[in-house]
Every structure is written in C-alpha cells, then in structure tokens.
Structure 1
Amino acid sequence: MTTPEDQRSTEGMVDYNKNSAMQQQLVNHHAGRIRDLVRRLGPVEPELRPELRPELRIVDYGCGPGQSAIEAVAPAIEAYREKYSDAPIFICHADQPGNDWNSLFELTAGPSGYAAPSIRTGAAVGSFYNQMLADSSVDLGTCFMASHWLSHAVRYDAPGSVWFADLQGKARADMAALARSDWNRFLECRARELRSGGYLLVSCLGAVPDDSEINGFAASGRGVYRAVQIAAREMADEGWIDRTVLDQFVFGVWFMTALEARTPLESDPGLAQAFDIEDISVVPAPKNPLDIYAGFIDDPAEYARLYVGYVRGFGHSTLNAQLFEPGATNGRSAETTATEFYRRLDSLYRRFPGKYAGEIWYLTVVLRKT
C-alpha cells in the first residue's frame, strides 16, 4: 500500500546543513570529475540552443538547502571560468517546494557562495521524477544524495523492518517495482532535458552483493536503520507507539546496486538510445567507509550525538509524518514521542559504540546524452 504521491518523504528535513557531512563528503569526492566533465563540454555556442541564451546551464537536482548545494556547482563554475572567464553561466537549483529556499539563496549570495555578475541563479521547484527544465536546455545535470529517495512516501505490511533491505515477500516485491519505475522516470526526464553532448552525474547511497544478508546484498547505513528499528520496537512494546502503525512504516528509500542502476539503460530501447554510459559503479566511501563517525568512537557521548543528529537530518520528516504523528499513543504529542525516540537512540549508540555503525557505499552513474 502506498500513500498519495504528493506526500514527499523529504519534506521539512531538520538541521540539514548541520548534519550533512556525508552529503558534503560525497560532493567533494566528485569535484575533480565535475571539472573534467565541464572541460569536456567546451564552450556553449549560440547554435547549440538558438532559442536560449548561449550560457553554460547547470542543474543540481535534489539540491537541498545546505552548503553541499554550493559545493556541487562550485567546481563546474571554476572549470568553466578557467577557459572562458567572461562567459555567462546559469545555475539552477532544483528541489521540492518544502526545501528551505531562503537558506539556500542566502548561501549562494554569502561569503562561501558563487554570486557574480555573469552568473544567473534560479530554481526549479517540483519533483525530479517529473520534467523540471525545458527540452535540450541543460548542459550538466548533477544529483547528489537524492535519487535514492522514492517518488512518494510508502506504507507496506512490513512488521520487523523499517527499511527496504530487510523486507521480504510482497512488500519487497512491491517496493522493488516502485524503485525500478522511479529510476526509469528519473532517467527519462533527464534524457529530455539534457542537450546532445551534455552530461548527467548521479551519486547517492548504494548497495553491494553480500550473501550473508537476507536479500543477498548489503545496503549503506544498514546498522543505522536497524538501530532505528530497535528503538521504535522498544517504544511499541512499552505502549509509546501504536504497533500497527510501526508495522506499516517503511522509509521511502532504495539504495541500488550497480546492476540495478545499469539495467534500464541497457534494456530500455529509449534510454539505451538516449545515453552513452561512462561509469556505473558502487565503491566504499573514501573516508570511514565502515563507520561514518569512527573518529569519535572513543567518546561515546559525542559518537551518539552525531548519529542521532544524522538520523534527525535525513529522517525526522519521515519519522514525524509517518510514525510519530499517527503512532503516538495515550494522548502523547508527536513531539513528546520524538523526544523519547531520540533519547533511546542516543542511549543505544552510547551503550554499544560501533555495533550500529553506518557503513557507506557510493553509487555513481555518469551518462552522456547522445
């Protein structure tokens, strides 16, 4: 069972910038690749898009409100300026209506931003599972830590699991089908928006084969999601959360393997014709791949604080809308329920540092529009 499509899992993320170190690490990891792609694009001449201004047009899909949105476009600007110092550039930040747009545009114009007379800044507001820009209008599209979120929130009959990697039976089959459909839609929309010779760089959390796991693969953050499940299950056992609500709660994410990312690009005739594949791979994060906060493991209080902040940063909007608000019992508020949940999560990480570590694999897809 799914909820209406306009209920986005990422709406209203809290403390995003403060808790987005992983997002910033991923963006910075690809800085050199972004520069290389821009250099390979060359100058944007009027004949490329006669109906539009001859400017380099960069779109960052699922940009978010934080510093990572600035860092995603900064290498492209730098690389283009190296060769074409006065050429105009258009930066388009694309995300959902609930994004904190004021915070984002304050950053673009601030000390760490990129504002300049020859750079236009704009926004495309909506879902990247729909077309967001005009046909053939984008030179470089990037998407970081966003495409693993599905097109809408979901609810399944899934007792014992709050995320996709531990699902079984019909719930897993239904969610897998949604994930495949969403990835196809994402690629089809970008195929229309990119101009011939343009590039798409997508990088997000991924998964790798692992026979020891129930479904045959290990997905990024598996320890974190299982810690969330434990804290929520304890609260259900003690009457803090309605068990029926918990048993139908699943985060709306799907972390693809390289094979899952590649399959539609080779099997769908339209996508196969639209794109040349330059890279599809899943690799461990370059820093602390087995535990994103390994450097703090000897300080249990700080270690726990960081993991709780991380869960709040990516997950609070989902948890609040789909678990705390509908599941709070005995007249408690969603806020009170959330406070108790994060207290328990903090205690779990303090008591067992390292047991629920966040392992990270990065999925990267680089495509060239034919």
Structure 2
Amino acid sequence: MDVASVFHMNGGTGEASYANNSLLQQKVMSITKPIRDGAIRSIYKGKLSKSLAIADLGCSSGPNTLFMTCELIETVEMLCRELNHESPEYIIFLNDLPSNDFNNIFKSFECFKQDLSTRVVGGIGKCYITGVPASFYERILPASSLHFVHSSYSLHWMSQVPKGIENNKGNICMASTSPFDVHNSYYHQFQRDFSLFLKCRARELVEGGRMVLTLQGRSNSGTSSNESYYVWELLAEALNDMVFEGIIKEDQIDSFNIPMYYPSSSELQLEIEKEGSFTLNHLEVFEVSWKAACGEEHNDNNDGYKVAQFIRAVVEPLLVSHFGEAIIDDVFHRYQHILADRMSKEKTVFLNLAVSLTKTA
C-alpha cells in the first residue's frame, strides 16, 4: 500500500464525509485549547515578531481545519491588546497529503477571514494562508521558517504499513491477538517515523519555537484495553463475518493492515528525549468517549451509526483501495450494529496524549 497516494479523510460534504463526521476530533481540540494557548502566548510574548508563522500538520478538511487557526489568532490578538503591541502578520501553512480535499479548504478562506475580523475587536493583522500538500514525514518548509507547529489526531498514522507482519492474520492493525513480532514491527515503524518527524520540524522551527501535538495513545504497553485498538478490532470482526459468509476472501483480510500506532506516554516521551531537539514542557493524558463522535444530542439508538460514520470518514479510502467499493456499505452496516451492542454494555473511550514542546537544539 502506497499510503501517501491512497490515504486521506473522506472529502466533500456528503453523509460519510470527514467534514460531517469529525465532532470527536473537535472535542479533542477543545480539550487541548489551554495547552495551545499557553504555547502560542509563550512564543509570541518572547519574540514580539512582526510576523507569526504557524503550520497545522495533518489539517484534513472541513470545519476543524480553520477552527484551530482561528483560536490561535484570537489568542495572539488578545495578547497584543494586553501588551499594547501592534498585531503581527499571520502566515498559515495547512499541510496534509496530496490526496486531501484542499479545494474545500480554499473555498472557505474568505468566509474564515471575514468571520475572524468580526470576532476580534479592532480587527487582526494581515493573514496569508497556503496549502502544503506533502507528507509531514519529510521536510516540507524552509529552515527556521516556523514559530509554531500544531498537529491533532494525525501522528498516530504512520508513513507506511510495517514490514514483516504477514502473520497478523484476521487482524487489521496491531491488535490484542496479534503475535509479538507484529507488535515489534509496528513499534519500530513508529519509532522511525516519529523520530524523523521531530528532526524535520526541528529544522523548520526557529530557535525557541513551540510545537503542540495530540494523538491517540494507549495507557500501557499492552493492546487489550478498550482505550486503544478496540474500535478497530470491532471493524475487523465485521470484515471477518463477511469472510465467513464468503463475501470477502480470507487472504484479502489477512493482507490488509492499517498504518497506525497508538504509543504509550512513556514511548512518546522516550522518542522525544532520544531525538534531542526538543524540551518536553507538558504531557497530558486524557480520555474521550466514543460518544463524542455523536454530538451533544446523541441517543443510544443512533450512537452505533454515528461512530461507524466517524470511522468510515477516516478509513474508507484505505478499505476501497484494498477490498473495492462494493463491500463498503455492507461492512459499515454490520459494523454499526456491533458498535451499538458494545457501547450499550461497555465503557468505550479513546485515550489521548497531548504534548507541548520547545525547540532547544
């Protein structure tokens, strides 16, 4: 699987689009707002630059894409009023893989600027926004060009499916039933990817630049808790049911693996220390219920469907690339019933890791 060319969130504004199924990600960004605000205030107050360059890595498309940018600019503008300082010019880089739906983002720019100018008393400094289609596991911007880097719900996705996991039969990711060598392969791929990510960002950030990263994680070195891969194991259950009924061939599911790793907080901290370019200022671990994907007015009868749509918006392109489009409605119909059953009986949460870093080397 060529992840860079296949993987993207569902574009557009349809029923299964990421734009209409990203409430959980918005909930996570709301929870981590104080961490972002503290970091952006620190970098701006320390430099009082005439311009402020911000990159959002793994920006996707839909309402969340400019949600974070809007909040950061509001925070800086409030600080400018406190310090009686002239507003900086904002240079915003929105990054995702080339297959991302950048067109929808571009169409929303003018509305975003108009909305922001009315929300901030006295207006804001000039704001320049550009899209950067590329993998963030490589250099994507000039050296020492950024003051602040943000990434939310992107870094648990890896650059490729790990090699040497042919024996991960019946699973679609690193699951509780995966052999030990599969666990090792996933972990080593995460180590390579995350270390490279840090090295690239260290080159792109100015000295003292800040970075806030949020990703899904797990609470310990195991994979059996409902805080980690459980939602994906249930998707594998739906696929395996279709294998049993002869709809999907067994070798199709045996050869399908998702390029995703949920690190523990200790694993994340270890890689930051080993790479050596950043100081870890803050690390926070928090849970978010699966029901956050359903919005405020969720109900038990509809929750399975909403969570299935949330997962579909994320993984459908990978499934279509491997299994074909014909099975998609069927697998998610089965999946929503499995989810509804488990959610009615069990505590179902995602564990999240948020870190705030300062470039020191």
Output aligned runs, 1:83-94, within 5 Å.
83=80, 84-94=85-95
Q: CA deviation at 1:265?
A: 2.1
Note closer, same or farther for the CA distance 1:186–1:201 as it changes in structure 2 (3 Å cut): same
- Given the alignment of the two structures, is residue 189 of structure 1 paired with residue 189 of structure 2, yes or no? no
Secondary structure, aligned partner of 1:281? strand
Aligned counterpart, 1:339: 329
**Distance in structure 2 (CA, Å) of the matches to 1:355 and 1:254:** 26
Distance 1:85 1:263 in 2: 40
Q: Could you say if the C-alpha distance between residues 93 and 44 of structure 1 is closer, same or farther in structure 2, counting changes exceeding 3 Å?
A: farther
Tell me which residue corresponds to 2:66.
70
Bigger mean CA offset, 166-175 vs 360-369: 166-175
**Alpha-carbon offset, residue 7 of structure 1:** 4.1
CA 1:144–1:152: 2 relative to 1, 3 Å: same
The answer to whether the 8 A contact 1:207-1:282 is kept is: no
Task: For residues 173-210 of structure 1, give each alpha carbon's deviation from its aligned partner in whole angstroms, at most 9, with x where no partner exists.
Answer: 22221111011111111111110011010001111027
Does the residue aligned with 2:175 lie in a helix, a strand or coil? helix
Alignment partner of 1:9 out of 4, 7, 15: 7
Structure 2 residue 217 is matched with structure 1 residue 209: no
User: What RMSD over aligned residues (CA atoms) do the two structures have, in Å?
Assistant: 2.7
Letter in 1 for 2:284: S
Give the corresponding residue for 1:103: 104
Taking a change above 3 Å as real, the CA distance of residues 22 and 216 of structure 1, as seen in their structure-2 partners, is closer
Count of residue pairs brought into register by the alignment: 341
Match of 1:223? 230
Task: Look up the SS of the partner of 2:219 in the other structure.
Answer: strand
In the alignment, the residues of structure 1 paired with residue 60 and residue 243 of structure 2 have an alpha-carbon distance, to the nearest angstrom, of 32
Deviation at 1:150, TM superposition (A): 0.5
Residue equivalent to 1:163: 173
Identity of matched residues, %: 20
Is residue 161–residue 258 contact of structure 2 (8 Å, CA) maintained in 1? yes
- 2-side partners of 1:113 and 1:161: how far apart? 45
Consecutive unaligned residues in structure 1, runs of 5 or more: 49-53, 326-333
How many angstroms apart in 1 are the aligned matches of 2:140 and 2:226?
29
One-letter amino acid of the counterpart of residue 231, structure 1: A
The whole-number CA distance in structure 2 between the counterparts of 1:38 and 1:291 is 27
The one-letter code of the counterpart of 1:59 is A
Say which of 201, 210, 213 aligns to 1:199: 210
Could you tell me how far 1:160 is from its partner in structure 2? 2.5
Counterpart contact for 2:216–2:352, Cα < 8 Å: yes
**How far 1:246 sits from its partner (Å)?**
0.3
Mapping 1:277-288, distance limit 5 Å: 277-285=280-288, 288=289
Deviation sequence 1:13-72 (CA, Å, 0-9, x none): 5500111011111111122222222221136869x7xxxxx4100000000112112111
Q: Is 1:348–2:338 an aligned residue pair?
A: yes
Give 1:10 shift.
2.9
Alignment partners' CA distance in 1, 2:311 and 2:359: 36
Deviation larger for 148-157 or 7-16: 7-16
* Contact map agreement 1:199 1:367 (CA 8 A) in 2: yes
Asked whether the equivalents of residues 4 and 98 of structure 2 are also in contact (C-alpha less than 8 Å), the reply is: no
Deviation per residue, 1:267-317 (Å, 9 max, x gap)? x3xx32x211102332223xx3787659777532x1122022112111111
SS at match of 1:250: coil
Unpaired segments of 5 or more residues in structure 2? 118-123
- What residue in structure 1 maps to residue 51 of structure 2? 55
User: Are residue 246 (structure 1) and residue 253 (structure 2) matched?
Assistant: yes
Task: Verify the 8 A CA contact 1:292 1:357 in the aligned structure 2.
Answer: no
**Distance in 2 between residues matched to 1:294 and 1:66, nearest whole Å:** 16
Residue of structure 2 equivalent to 1:262 = 269
1:177 maps to 188
Distance in 2 separating the partners of 1:296 and 1:348? 21
Would the aligned equivalents of 1:62 and 1:144 in 2 still touch at CA under 8 Å?
yes
Is 2:135 aligned against 1:132?
no
Q: Compute the displacement of 1:140 (Å).
A: 0.5
| Structure 1 residues 223 and 169: alpha-carbon distance in aligned structure 2, compared to 1, 3 A threshold | closer
Q: Distance between the aligned counterparts of 2:226 and 2:154, measured in 1?
A: 16
